């Protein structure tokens, strides 16, 4: 496939596409979809507004032609979308797409992991913010214990999927779980990603005081493990990685707050209803769905996407201030998929 590589105003290529397939979730995690906001009466997207699998496949092919090499399926909880392996199968057949991943809370993986792997899924990132049942139930807002997620992790491993664990760390909530989580992941040969609590959206009550920085987590881990820095595998790799001495297992940090990586960000995000977002922290989406449904050609869609990316100047984490945190319009993580 001949790719038409596009770059933004800061010379950043378009390499990664995150596709939210649904805005619903079976959890109500405090930092993403707090129950007091996303209650029983919350109006989620009707099915007619969601991109169909055929539309997602069409757009994915166009994005790949523009330089995208990796796609990650997100939500909400993506496994709530009916027949998700059908979509994975469609995407896996796109020439030039190197990698398909999935971010999930893991609860439904025992049911779907084998089928997803057979359809062409490469790996999963599973959210797990505590190993303590009571605390984890508090964080996920559904009083779900750790065991269903552990079952999902094992199901993914048994299916042959690559597995990473995502842990969002919030000061005073689950920072006591940092070392236990590292120990659990090391013992079970799981890659671990510590994620700094971010000011995504406007419903999670973010404050800088709640952030546990990468340096703080690293310093704590260093009291228990010898860690060696690992060079990035590719331009735009988000995680800052360290290898446990004497092993080939690494632990990584997503440092959007304390150590910005805007300069190498290659990610675009497609919401479940077909809005294109050029930054996790930018609340201004660009309509792709309705434009596509007017009967335009693939070339016209490609031109629209290229124009949006060519005009991109986002570098929110470089520019984060009290004013931007308080006043910038942002989209909720549950809508855009993180």
* CATH code, 56: 3.20.20.70
Sign of CA dihedral 124, 140, 47, 37: negative
pLDDT at res. 203: 62
Mean predicted confidence (pLDDT) in 158-163: 98
Task: Please say whether the beta carbons of 241 and 251 come within 8 A.
Answer: yes
In a domain, 61, yes or no: yes
pLDDT at res. 257: 83
Q: What is the pTM of this model?
A: 0.93
In a domain, 2, yes or no: no
What the block records as the tokens of 314 is 């986002």
Provide the domain count of the chain. 1
Q: Print the domain residue range for 263.
A: 28-336
- Is residue 1 pLDDT above 60, yes or no? no
- Is residue 310 pLDDT above 70, yes or no? yes
In a domain, 16, yes or no: no
pLDDT at res. 260: 85
User: How many CB atoms within 10 Å of residue 21?
Assistant: 25
- Is residue 181 pLDDT above 90, yes or no? yes
In a domain, 272, yes or no: yes
Give the model confidence (pLDDT) of 196-214 as tens digits. 987 766 666 667 888 999 9
How many CA atoms are closer than 13 Å to the CA of 199, on its beta-carbon side?
Answer: 23
Sign of CA dihedral 175, 176, 179, 184: negative
For residue 277, with 0-12 CB atoms within 10 Å meaning exposed, 13-18 middle and 19 or more buried, which class applies? buried
In a domain, 129, yes or no: yes
Mean predicted confidence (pLDDT) in 164-192: 96
In a domain, 127, yes or no: yes
Give the model confidence (pLDDT) of 30-78 as tens digits. 777 888 888 988 989 999 999 999 999 999 999 999 999 999 999 999 9
What the block records as the tokens of 30 is 């405090």
Give the model confidence (pLDDT) of 111-155 as tens digits. 999 999 999 999 999 999 999 999 999 999 999 999 999 999 999
Mean predicted confidence (pLDDT) in 212-229: 96
Give the model confidence (pLDDT) of 250-274 as tens digits. 999 998 887 888 899 999 999 999 9
In a domain, 292, yes or no: yes
In a domain, 14, yes or no: no
Which residue in 194, 189, 227 sits closest to 213, CA to CA? 194
CA distance linking residue 217 with residue 214, whole number of Å: 5
| pLDDT-above-70 percentage for the chain | 92
Give the model confidence (pLDDT) of 82-120 as tens digits. 999 999 999 999 999 999 999 999 999 999 999 999 999
pLDDT at res. 238: 84
């Amino acid at each position: 496939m001949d790719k038409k590589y596009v770059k933004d105003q800061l010379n950043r290529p378009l390499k990664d596409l995150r596709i939210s397939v649904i805005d619903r979730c079976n959890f109500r995690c405090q930092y993403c979809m707090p129950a007091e906001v996303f209650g029983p009466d919350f109006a989620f997207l009707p099915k007619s507004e969601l991109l169909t699998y055929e539309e997602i496949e069409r757009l994915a092919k166009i994005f790949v032609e523009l330089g995208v090499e990796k796609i990650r399926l997100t939500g909400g909880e993506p496994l709530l979308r009916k027949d998700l392996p059908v979509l994975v199968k469609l995407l896996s057949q796109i020439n030039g797409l190197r990698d398909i991943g999935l971010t999930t809370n893991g609860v439904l993986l025992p049911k779907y992991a084998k089928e997803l792997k057979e359809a062409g899924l490469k790996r999963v990132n599973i959210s797990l913010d505590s190993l303590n049942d009571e605390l984890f139930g508090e964080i996920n807002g559904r009083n779900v214990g750790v065991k269903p997620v552990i079952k999902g992790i094992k199901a993914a491993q048994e299916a042959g999927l690559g597995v990473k664990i995502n842990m969002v760390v919030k000061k005073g909530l689950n920072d006591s779980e940092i070392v236990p989580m590292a120990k659990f992941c090391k013992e079970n040969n799981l890659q671990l990603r510590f994620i700094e609590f971010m000011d995504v959206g406007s419903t999670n009550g973010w404050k800088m005081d709640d952030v546990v920085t990468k340096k703080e987590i690293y310093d704590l881990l260093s009291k228990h493990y010898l860690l060696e820095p690992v060079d990035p595998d590719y331009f735009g790799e988000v995680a800052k990685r360290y290898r446990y001495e004497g092993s080939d297992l690494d632990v990584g940090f997503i440092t959007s707050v304390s150590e910005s990586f805007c300069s190498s960000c290659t990610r675009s995000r497609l919401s479940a209803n077909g809005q294109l977002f050029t930054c996790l922290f930018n609340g201004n989406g660009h309509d792709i769905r309705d434009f596509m449904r007017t009967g335009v050609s693939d070339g016209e869609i490609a031109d629209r996407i290229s124009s949006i990316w060519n005009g991109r100047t986002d570098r929110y984490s470089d520019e984060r201030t009290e004013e931007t945190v308080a006043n910038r319009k942002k989209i909720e993580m549950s809508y855009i998929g993180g």
